[in-house]
A = this chain, B = another copy of it.
Amino acid sequence: MPKNTFYNLSDEKKTRIFDAALQEFSKRSFSASSLNQIIKNAGIPKGSFYQYFDNKEDLYLCFLEYASKENAELLSNFKGMEPDVDVFETVMNETREFHEKGKIMPKYIEVAMLMAVDNSEFILKIRKSSTDRYVKMVERDKERGLIKPEVDSELVINMISAFSYNEYFRNGSDKERYLKNLSNALKIIKDGIKNTEITKE
């Protein structure tokens, strides 16, 4: 847990620290990340950092909490689940939105990707809760007769998120290419699980 001195800091300084943390934690996994790099980017002296946090782990945990709050706020705009839009369109729209919004969000994707490798219990919990929302969308689409009922909803979401993370990394700065590939992959999955029976009345 960060010390009181951290919470007493100006918002501007706190933001600067979190921004620097985001830069670093989205580039390297926790164990490979450099605290020196973070404080350099944040423009705060080494000594000051240790006035605010116990150590690197302390910062990481605090950062994750902050990041998931940021995340939740942004996603709340979409929570509505518009009735005419299927899960694939939603994923695509939200991803596109991520990129248009300040370009900060995609960095969180990288953080998540690097977290996935660490595979700690703590991270599994966060990931689970973030995919649940999409799993529910798949299930809704099943009920609407758009998707074969025997399909494993969680598996579909795992396919999408795995590809999304991976592809995001692979394409580096070429975001257009990433979005195009994601769109193509979504189309393949959609065609692969679409309900061919005419059960709609």
Contacts and interface: CB of A to CB of B under 8 A. Distances in A.
Interface string A122-148: 000000000000000000000000000
Interface residues of A, number: 32
7 contacts: A31-B32, A156-B188, A158-B167, A162-B167, A165-B166, A191-B192, A192-B193
Contact of A192 (B155, B165, B189): B189
A119 B169 contact: yes
B166 A158 contact: yes
A188 B169 CA distance: 24
A43 B185 CA distance: 47
B166 A162 contact: yes
Nearest to A119: B169
Interface string A158-189: 11011101110110100000000100110111
Contact of A188 (B119, B165, B189): B189
Interface in A75-123: 114, 116-117, 119
A31 B116 CA distance: 17
A158 B184 CA distance: 12
Contacts of A156: 188
Interface in A56-79: none
A54 interface: no
Contacts of A162: 162-163, 165-167
Contacts of A169: 116-117, 119
A188 B138 CA distance: 14
A16 interface: no
Contacts of A191: 191-193
